[in-house]
């Protein structure tokens, strides 16, 4: 049976070239930059209405019209998305910003928001005939790929840095993936995936190197608006590695405005990175269009240990268009603010999620955020897989 998808074509985010959306694609063949999925939004708007949404399933597939999957049998789901948006009242009072909210992505399958992207990427890869899937990952993406590949029954090859914490390795192996530990960083893992693509025809589901992980992560933007009664907050703080969530939400806001679901008001988007790996912060401060790779990247926040991002120009564009900013915080701050978030909310955050709180406090002190503004922090994962950090 067909879905209500209104997917029309793919468009390069850099050179604007357009492509048929109904075959497997990685980067733009013309300029090697990320491809973006485009929809017939006028048609989508006829059925994607607040009233219709009220009776739809409590997962990300509720936004079917603006998702790429064409056939119902190809929707590979473990219940991803529609995570709670929690008004963190005690935390907000403690830091002097009462309208602080946490979008708690730790409740996704596999304990992180990587489930959103990989659900869509695996569904589409399966639908378009990929036979084996491969990914370079700092940890959470590998777990999510392993889960969705297992759900549909496709082989998954995951490449992670050798020092990735044990829970991530165990998770992937238990879910049946083939796991290779690489001496080096996620960029070195990416090189190993490319070898397998050449040699064995694997399909590469690296972040932003195929168009659909972005479509999964953009649903955070749809949920944010729907959960806030079709308004958006003043500020969104997002822990940025490859930037898929930030770029995805920015795309979602644009789509929603075109469909008449929201107006033109946008949140100021904030990227937070670790001071041990902050290529986007540096590029933002320099006013650059692209980011130079970060040398000697190190941080306990595995999801932020991304020295170079293929979507760098899309991240920087969203930050500037939104009048946002980019800040770095130390690993010690992440660990300390994880405790503060935990004690005041009941959420045990990943260090990446805690980084958002550290950034919020820094921006409140600088006066960049006003105490009466509405601020949404993204807790992108559960602290459980990183529990050794606080032990
Ligand atoms: C991957 C990851 C990030 C970074 O996400 P991007 O969309 O790649 O920027 C942040 N937090 C956690 C827990 C992650 O796993």
- The pLDDT of residue 218 is 98
Q: Collapse the DSSP code of 124 into the 3-class scheme (helix H, G, I; strand E, B; otherwise coil) and give the result.
A: helix
Cβ atoms 202, 134 nearer than 8 A: yes
The answer as to whether 171 is a domain residue is no
Cβ atoms 235, 375 nearer than 8 A: yes
**Which pair of tokens denotes residue 179?**
């796991």
φ and ψ at 192, to 5 degrees?
A: -65, -40
Atom number in ligand 1 closest to CA 207? 8
- The pLDDT of residue 136 is 95
Q: Ligand 1 centre and the CA of 189: distance in Å? A: 16
Q: Ligand 1 centre and the CA of 241: distance in Å? A: 5
- The pLDDT of residue 84 is 98
| Number of domains composing the chain | 1
Q: Which of 303, 334, 351, 384 to mutate to test the pocket of ligand 1 (most atoms within 8 A of CB)?
A: 303
Q: Ligand 1 centre and the CA of 352: distance in Å? A: 7
- The pLDDT of residue 236 is 98
Residue bearing the CA closest to ligand 1, atom 12: 303
Q: Ligand 1 centre and the CA of 140: distance in Å? A: 8
Residue bearing the CA closest to ligand 1, atom 14: 303
Atom number in ligand 1 closest to CA 306? 8
Q: Ligand 1 centre and the CA of 303: distance in Å? A: 4
d(CA 380, CA 107): 9
- The pLDDT of residue 325 is 98
Q: Ligand 1 centre and the CA of 172: distance in Å? A: 17
| CB contact set of 95 (below 8 Å; sequence gap of 6+) | 357, 360, 361, 364
For residue range 103-116, what is the model confidence (pLDDT) as tens digits?
999 999 999 999 99
Q: Collapse the DSSP code of 4 into the 3-class scheme (helix H, G, I; strand E, B; otherwise coil) and give the result.
A: coil
Residue bearing the CA closest to ligand 1, atom 10: 303
The answer as to whether 302 is a domain residue is yes
Q: Ligand 1 centre and the CA of 316: distance in Å? A: 16
The answer as to whether 350 is a domain residue is yes
- The pLDDT of residue 187 is 86
The answer as to whether 60 is a domain residue is no
- The pLDDT of residue 180 is 97
Atom number in ligand 1 closest to CA 246? 7
Q: Ligand 1 centre and the CA of 164: distance in Å? A: 15
Count Cβ neighbours within 10 Å for each residue of 190-227 and write b for 16 or more, e otherwise.
Answer: bebbbebbeeeebbbbbbbbbbbbbbbbbbbbbbbbbb
Atom number in ligand 1 closest to CA 351? 13
Q: Which of 104, 110, 112, 219 to mutate to test the pocket of ligand 1 (most atoms within 8 A of CB)?
A: 112
- The pLDDT of residue 73 is 97
Q: Ligand 1 centre and the CA of 158: distance in Å? A: 17
The answer as to whether 107 is a domain residue is yes
Query: In terms of Cα–Cα distance, which of 192, 139, 172 is closest to 301?
Result: 139
Q: Which of 103, 113, 116 to mutate to test the pocket of ligand 1 (most atoms within 8 A of CB)?
A: 113
Residue with tokens 């990943």: 350
Alpha carbon 176 to chain centroid distance? 24
Atom number in ligand 1 closest to CA 245? 7
Q: Which of 161, 187, 220, 245 to mutate to test the pocket of ligand 1 (most atoms within 8 A of CB)?
A: 245
**Which pair of tokens denotes residue 68?**
């790429």
The answer as to whether 26 is a domain residue is no
Would the CA dihedral through 179, 180, 186, 189 be positive or negative? negative
The answer as to whether 6 is a domain residue is no
Pocket of ligand 1 (CB under 6 A): 112, 114, 140-141, 207, 239-245, 303, 350, 352, 380-381
Atom number in ligand 1 closest to CA 240? 9
What's the CATH code of the domain at 92?
A: 3.40.50.1100
**Which pair of tokens denotes residue 2?**
């067909």
The answer as to whether 384 is a domain residue is yes
Residue bearing the CA closest to ligand 1, atom 4: 241
φ and ψ at 2, to 5 degrees?
A: -80, 150
Range of the domain at 304: 85-112+214-389
Residue with tokens 């304990």: 111
Per-residue pLDDT of the chain (391 residues; tens, 9 = 90+): 999 999 999 999 999 999 999 999 999 999 999 999 999 999 999 999 999 999 999 999 999 999 999 999 999 999 999 999 999 999 999 999 999 999 999 999 999 999 999 999 999 999 999 999 999 998 999 999 999 999 999 999 999 999 999 999 999 999 999 999 999 888 899 999 999 999 999 999 999 999 999 999 999 999 999 999 999 999 999 999 999 999 999 999 999 999 999 999 999 999 999 999 999 999 999 999 999 999 999 999 999 999 999 999 999 999 999 999 999 999 999 999 999 999 999 999 999 999 999 999 999 999 999 999 999 999 999 999 999 999 9
């Amino acid at each position: 049976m067909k879905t209500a998808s209104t997917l029309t074509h793919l468009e390069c985010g850099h050179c604007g070239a357009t492509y048929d959306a109904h075959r497997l694609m990685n980067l733009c063949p013309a300029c090697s930059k990320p491809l973006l999925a485009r929809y017939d939004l006028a048609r989508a708007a006829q059925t994607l209405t607040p009233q219709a949404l009220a009776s739809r399933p409590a997962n990300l597939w509720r936004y079917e019209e603006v998702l790429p999957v064409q056939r119902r049998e190809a929707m590979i789901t473990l219940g991803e998305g529609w995570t709670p948006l929690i008004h963190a009242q005690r935390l907000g009072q403690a830091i002097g910003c009462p309208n602080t909210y946490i979008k708690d992505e730790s409740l996704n399958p596999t304990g992180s928001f990587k489930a959103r992207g990989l659900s869509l990427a695996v569904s589409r890869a399966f639908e378009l005939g990929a036979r084996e899937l491969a990914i370079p990952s700092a940890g959470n993406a590998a777990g999510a790929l392993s889960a969705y590949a297992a759900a549909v029954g496709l082989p998954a090859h995951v490449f992670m840095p050798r020092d990735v914490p044990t829970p991530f390795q165990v998770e992937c192996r238990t879910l049946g993936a083939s796991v290779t530990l690489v001496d080096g960083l996620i960029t070195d893992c990416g090189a190993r995936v490319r070898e397998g693509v050449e040699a064995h025809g694997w399909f590469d589901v690296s972040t932003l190197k195929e168009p659909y992980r972005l479509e999964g992560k953009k649903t955070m933007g749809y949920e944010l608006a729907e959960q806030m009664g079709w308004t958006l907050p003043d500020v969104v703080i997002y822990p940025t590695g490859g930037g898929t969530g930030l770029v995805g939400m920015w795309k979602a806001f644009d789509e929603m405005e075109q469909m008449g679901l929201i107006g033109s008001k946008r949140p100021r988007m904030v990227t937070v990175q670790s001071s041990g790996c902050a290529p986007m912060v540096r590029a933002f401060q320099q006013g650059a269009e692209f980011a130079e790779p970060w040398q000697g990247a190190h941080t306990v926040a595995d999801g932020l240990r991304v020295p170079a991002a293929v979507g760098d120009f899309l991240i920087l564009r969203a930050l500037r268009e939104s009048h946002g900013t980019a800040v770095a915080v130390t690993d010690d701050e992440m660990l300390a603010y994880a405790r503060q978030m935990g004690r005041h909310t009941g959420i045990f955050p990943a260090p990446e999620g805690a980084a958002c709180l550290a950034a919020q406090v820094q921006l409140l002190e600088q006066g960049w955020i006003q105490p009466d503004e509405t601020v949404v922090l993204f807790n992108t994962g559960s602290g459980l897989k990183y529990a050794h950090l606080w032990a």
